[in-house]
Amino acid sequence: MSASDQPSEAGPAPARSRSQRTIDTLERLRTDVDLWVASASEDGHAYLVPLSYLWDGSALLIATPRASRTARNLTRTGWARVALGVTRDVVIVEGPVDVIPIGADPEREEAHALAAGFDPRTLAEEYVYLRITPHEIQAWREANELAGRHVMRGGAWLERDGL
């Protein structure tokens, strides 16, 4: 967040256009390393965990132990909700989850290792990759951006303001 985007004594910065939010969201997806993954057990117990990710331009790729709550929950539901950023500059992504076993996509696995700073292929514990394809993305900083917070719906970027 630049100094001009910081809230001041006069109040929050003016709301960004949807176009600017889309630009900012794509930059955050490209440059951030970690995100928060929300999931729930079959009996409804919530679980939240930070994980490193790769953004490949169309989907998020995370790696977690196959036996972890996160892997079990997301595999069972086939859907994920993740968040990037800080509370005054948040991006929330929701979408379907595909399970990708280690070794199934060496090129993407290598890119994930470089982006995340660790390589699950080299660990003793069995890991799995989870690919989250955005279906809906929301981005906002302050209450003045809540009304137009959707930048993607149905897997399509919303280009025009006011949608």
User: Domain ranges in the chain?
Assistant: 15-156
Question: According to the model, what pLDDT value does residue 10 have?
Answer: 72
> How much is the average pLDDT of 71-96?
96
Closest C-alpha among 35, 28, 31 to residue 115: 31
Question: According to the model, what pLDDT value does residue 11 have?
Answer: 76
Distance CA 142, CA 156 (A): 24
Q: For domain 15-156, give the fold.
A: Pnp Oxidase; Chain A (2.30.110)
Query: What's the pLDDT band for 12 if we cut at 50, 70, 90?
Result: confident
Instruction: Return the structure tokens found at 78.
Output: 């086939």
Is residue 84 within 8 A of residue 28, CB to CB? The reply is yes
pTM for this prediction: 0.89
